[in-house]
Amino acid sequence: DVADHASPVAVSISKKLLWESWTLDPSESERREAVLSAWLFEQPDAREGVAAFLEKRSPNWPMRVSIDGPAWPS
């Protein structure tokens, strides 16, 4: 289901946050998640996901992990 219906950029952010969380304290992990989630909600993939759901169709993700990923918070 994730492979078919989740934005590849969103999945890559989730995976990176998961791996980083092993080395961060909980408050820093939460801060990074909030920053990256806010960034993602403003991107074309967020609009496409909602539109695809409402139109009952498969999403056509415009963003690519290799070129459209976020700047990581430090």
pLDDT tens per residue, range 29-67: 999 999 999 999 999 999 999 999 999 999 999 999 988
Q: What is the pLDDT of residues 6-18, one digit of tens each?
A: 999 999 999 999 9
Predicted local distance difference test score (pLDDT) of residue 73: 63
Assign residue 24 a region: left if phi > 0, alpha if psi is -120 to 50, beta otherwise?
Answer: beta
The reported pTM is 0.83
Predicted local distance difference test score (pLDDT) of residue 9: 94
Cβ-based neighbour number of residue 32 at 10 Å: 19
